[in-house]
Chain A
């Protein structure tokens, strides 16, 4: 009898993240570490792999590696060395990549994520090692073109243990990792520019099984969302292969974003015979405990510690706090604002609303615009004092960011001060009532909700300058006295 048995599978995922470090120069030579320059303009005998050239380690790249390692709770190894990983491909002019095999910068760390039941879960990090990036290949119809500008860009490869159990957990880990790394100023973490790249190892096994199933490696995902989708696709592929009685082949597969499918790279097995051996051109490096402490001291308060503190210290909602901590500069700005102005909820609303909108529409970071925390709180105060309507205040903020000028100056220049003067407002209300006799009559008959419409008309007439509260009161007064 052929009976279908529903089997319950568990997914096992491990991630490898490659992070380009934002040093001024490459890892083993003095060529500038820059993106988007003319092909091969940033090359020298070292990164072109010319005979007789010798690599020398960029001190800063090691420090950045240590800093990142510490931030993800790794131990920093007191003795580190570099090794050659041999493979033959034109993106690598030496036919080997200088990497780290058995003595990496950092090992045994972890990052916390929130799992699907809302519990904190520890994702172990096996290691983080330094290596050089490869060049870029452009495939034409009849040939391939090689640009070695990227060759030698310092990379930190961060490898997890197979602790992730779903595509969502993988996505959350990546978000948390990126956020943590962004606080360190060691990389711009921009996936679109390739400064943060992620490969995923995935296998499935029957629930309760302790042995790992055969894994496949997924490459070529260019966003965190693509990582999640690719993993979801791969799980269903594994299930259908195993379900039909076949076996998963251990291989590397490329994610095709346009087709939303993974495809086997069909590379020869021998390609993975890397023949690691110690890099004879680089001596070992000893990292002193003092140096580690110094670098540790340079790490700012990290996002999740900050999140907890903000909720406690400022009694803001977790929702607000989460938005604010997405950017270290913004969280500092928030704290600066809180020194000048009491109502932190209002500060959150301004930062998470208008300010973020301004930044998004300009594609700018807070650090790239000229806006002081004190100036923003003054602006909020003006709304409280009814000198400005909320709407006008938003315009003032736009002008403040455009010009770098203070709120007072802009209000004066643009004549945006709120009209709160009773005589002026009465005139405006009279005009509005005259133009909207039908609505006025309805209000008199008890349709109070229509007052809002008339207030809106008054606001329109004054380009948002009228004090809406007062306008509402005057309308009510006038209609009840009639």
Chain B
């Protein structure tokens, strides 16, 4: 069951600010989604291997060969703020 606190916690982890009316609505939405998904629990999967990926593919590699990078100018061009070739962000210290 999804509680209001769960929604607030997820919002906080996702850095999303919610208005009061959104909290109630999202609580209901998430609850509905989980309830729907719960239907899967009725299936007997005792003979099914756990699946981590839906595609029938495995061992997709690349060789260890260098491909030219974007370069500093192109890389930081997309940034809102730059300094000394670096992305500039608000001060963060853990």
Chain A residues with CB under 8 Å of chain B are: 23-25, 29-32, 38-45, 48, 50, 56-62, 81, 86, 88-90, 103, 137-140, 142-148, 265, 267, 270-271, 273, 275, 278, 280, 282-286
Question: Are B60 and A142 interface neighbours, CB within 8 A?
Answer: no
Residues of chain A within 8 A (CB-CB) of B52 are 81, 103, 278, 284
User: Chain B contacts of A57 at CB under 8 A?
Assistant: 60-62
| Min distance, Cβ A117 to any Cβ of chain B, angstroms | 40
Chain A, interface SS category? loop
Centre residue among A81, A282, A284 by max chain B CB count within 10 A: A284
Q: Are A40 and B85 touching (Cβ within 8 A)?
A: yes
Report the nearest A residue to B59, measured CB to CB. A285
Which chain B positions have C-beta within 8 A of A89?
92, 94
The chain B residues found within 8 Å of chain A, CB to CB, are 9, 12-13, 15, 52-53, 55, 57-67, 69-72, 75-76, 78, 83-94
A50 contacts across to B, CB distance below 8 A: 78
CB–CB A81/B53 < 8 A: yes
B62 near A56 (CB under 8 angstroms)? yes
The 10 closest A-B pairs by CB, nearest first: A30-B67, A145-B86, A60-B64, A59-B61, A278-B52, A146-B87, A39-B85, A41-B72, A40-B75, A283-B57
> 11 A–B contact pairs at CB < 8 A?
A25-B65, A40-B75, A59-B61, A61-B64, A90-B87, A143-B89, A144-B91, A144-B92, A148-B87, A273-B9, A282-B60
Q: Which residue of B lies closest to A39 (CB)?
A: B85
**Chain A residues with CB below 8 A from B71, complex form:** 41
**Residues of B contacting A138 with CB < 8 Å?**
86
CA gap between A144 and B13 in the complex, in Å? 21
Smallest CB separation, B10 vs chain A (Å): 9
Q: Are B67 and A31 in contact (CB under 8 A)?
A: yes
- In the complex, which residues of chain A have a beta carbon less than 8 angstroms from the beta carbon of B92? 89-90, 137, 139, 144
Taking a contact as CB atoms closer than 8 A, the residue among B59, B64, B72, B90 that contacts A24 in the complex is B64
A287: nearest chain-B partner, CB-CB: B59
Is there an interface contact between B87 and A40, defined as CB atoms closer than 8 Å? yes
Whether the pair A283, B58 counts as a contact (CB closer than 8 A) is yes
Contacts of A81 in B (CB 8 A): 52-53
| B67 cross-chain contacts in A, Cβ below 8 A | 25, 29-31, 44
B5 CB to nearest A CB, Å = 12
**Closest Cβ of chain A: how far from B13's Cβ, in Å?**
6
The answer on a CB contact under 8 Å between B58 and A286 is yes
Taking a contact as CB atoms closer than 8 A, the residue among B13, B53, B57 that contacts A273 in the complex is B13
Task: Tell whether, in the assembled complex, residue B94 and residue A265 are in contact, meaning their CB atoms are under 8 Å apart.
Answer: yes
Q: Is the CB of A24 within 8 A of B53?
A: no
Contact (A143, B61) CB under 8 Å given A43-B75, A265-B94: no
From B13, B58, B62, B89, A146 is in contact (CB under 8 Å) with B89
Tell me the bound Cα distance from A60 to B67 in angstroms: 15
Given contacts A40-B75, A40-B76, A44-B69, contact A146 B86 (CB under 8 A): yes
